[in-house]
Amino acid sequence: MNLFSGLEKFGLEAQESMQLYEEGKRENIKKEEEKEEKAKERLLPKETDFLLLKTIRCKVCEHVFKAKLVKSGKARRLQPDRDLRPRFQYIDTLKYDIISCPACGYTAMSRDFDRITPTQAKMIREQISSRFRKVYEPDTGVYSYDAAIQRYKLSLLNAAVKRGKESEKAYTCLKIAWLYRGKGETMSQSTPQEKEKIAACLKEGEEFYLQAYEGFIKAISQEMFPIYGMDEGTLDYLLAYMSFHFKKYDMASKCLGSVLTSSSASRRLKDMALDLKEEIVSQLKR
């Protein structure tokens, strides 16, 4: 029997060969879809597309090596987190904002790497390089979160050894906390065990967040603005948010007051400060 007989009047000649249920058709469509999905993925920019290799000469040991850095202006900036953690499409640029000499262990954030006095270099040589062991890292083209976090921790140790400014140490801690957050965002969270792993990762970040908070409070009493590239309004806002995070509402309100009355703070920063103020008021009413 031809299921389609009688359709001739619509001009659709009955076709004996037409099957209602085509064998394997669903699978074929699925395969096609998968192929398209893969092709789309191939078209998406990869993290390596945003990176370049730069030749660096170490100021501590004179070793020349190549470091991975982010090409400036290529990655698209996304809305930052509420504590100003910068975010970019397709890449977490924070992972690359650090330079580490593979020969002697001297490590610092990119902007500080060349800013080192002969006395500081001597301290690094004596307290770090003399004990530093080179670890072989296979080059996967990108830095994993774990590798980046290790570099930042090495940089924190360097900052402590060379008696760096409070702000440098605080900012390093803040970036480590942000990296733990970034790592958490890439982790799978479908099982309870996986969720536990994310919680442990965020908890480690939290330790550094607290160190950053305490460090910045010290920094504002000792250093002149701009502090680590941040003007007064920006650092006040950051401290307000961190105070809020640690439930120190008096400190949060004080810092917010400075942002809101500042003549130099941007409209955007003031709007963020107003949002935070509302949230603090509603927390206190509970």
Shortest CB 127 distance to Zn ion, Å: 14
Nearer to Zn ion, 52 or 103 (CB): 103
Could you list the residues that contact Zn ion (CB under 5 A)? 58, 60-61, 63, 101, 103-104, 106
Nearer to Zn ion, 103 or 142 (CB): 103
Shortest CB 35 distance to Zn ion, Å: 48
Distance CA(264)–CA(231), nearest Å, equals 9
Q: What is the DSSP letter of 69?
A: E
Report the 10 Å Cβ neighbour count for 210: 15
Among the residues of 164-248, which ranges form H helices? 166-186, 192-222, 232-245
Instruction: Show Cβ contacts of residue 21 under 8 Å, excluding neighbours closer than 6 positions.
Output: none
Q: Do the Cβ atoms of 194 and 183 come closer than 8 Å?
A: no
Distance CA(226)–CA(180), nearest Å, equals 26
DSSP states of 38-59 as a string? Answer: HHHHHHSPPGGGGEEEEEEE-T
Nearer to Zn ion, 110 or 266 (CB): 110
Shortest CB 53 distance to Zn ion, Å: 17
Shortest CB 139 distance to Zn ion, Å: 19
Distance CA(207)–CA(59), nearest Å, equals 31
Nearer to Zn ion, 82 or 153 (CB): 153
Shortest CB 129 distance to Zn ion, Å: 7
Distance CA(189)–CA(203), nearest Å, equals 16
Shortest CB 149 distance to Zn ion, Å: 21
Nearer to Zn ion, 103 or 217 (CB): 103
Nearer to Zn ion, 58 or 98 (CB): 58
